[in-house]
Amino acid sequence: MLNHFLPSAYVKSVLLIKPEDLLENGFKGIITDLDNTLVEWDRADATQDIMAWFKSMRDAGLQITVVSNNHIERVSHFCDPLGIPYICEARKPMKKSFHQALATLGLPKNEVVMIGDQLLTDVLGANRVGLQSILVVPVASSDATITKFNRAIERRIMARFKRKGLLTWED
C-alpha cells in the first residue's frame, strides 16, 4: 500500500532537475504541479529562476504542462504569460487530469514525468496512472489549509519511508 506513495526520485528543488538528465532517461514531457513545487502557494507570478528553468526545458525540446488543484484564476495568471498549457481544478490524485495532461502533451506515459511536492496528490496520482514521478521539497514552509491536513499524513508516510531507507532527505 505504501508503494503507491513512493516517488521514482526526489530532489530538494525543481531547479535541480536538468533537461539533459530527463532526456537521458527517455522523457520528452513534464507534468508539473504549481503551488509549492514551482513557486510558493501564495506567490502569483513565476520567479526569474523558474522562468529560466522553463526556458531550459523548452530549449532542450521538452514539453511542459501544469496540473494544479487550484482554481482557474490562480493557474491561468501564472501559466498564460509563460505560454504553458495547464489543467486547473484537477482533483489530483484522480486519474482524469493526468490523462488530460498526457493528451495535451501528445506523449505516451513512459515518456512523461510528474514533478510535485505532495505524496497524496502528485506522487499518488502519477503512480495510479503509471507515470514516473519526482518529489521535490516544498518551496514554502507554509501551506493552504487543506494542504496542512495532507502534510500531517505525509509526515507519517515519509517517516516510514525513512525508517525503511527508501527516502533519505531531511525536512
- Copy the grid coordinates of residue 4: 503507491
Q: Does 79 have pLDDT greater than 90?
A: yes
Q: Give the least confident one: 38-47, 89-98, 158-167.
A: 158-167
152 lies in a domain? yes
CATH number of residue 66's parent domain: 3.40.50.1000
pLDDT the model gives residue 171: 46
Contact 130, 109 (CB under 8 A): yes
170 lies in a domain? no
169 lies in a domain? no
pLDDT the model gives residue 10: 92
72 lies in a domain? yes
Among the listed residues 148, 147, 85, the one whose alpha carbon sits nearest the alpha carbon of residue 121:
147
Domain that holds residue 12: 2-163
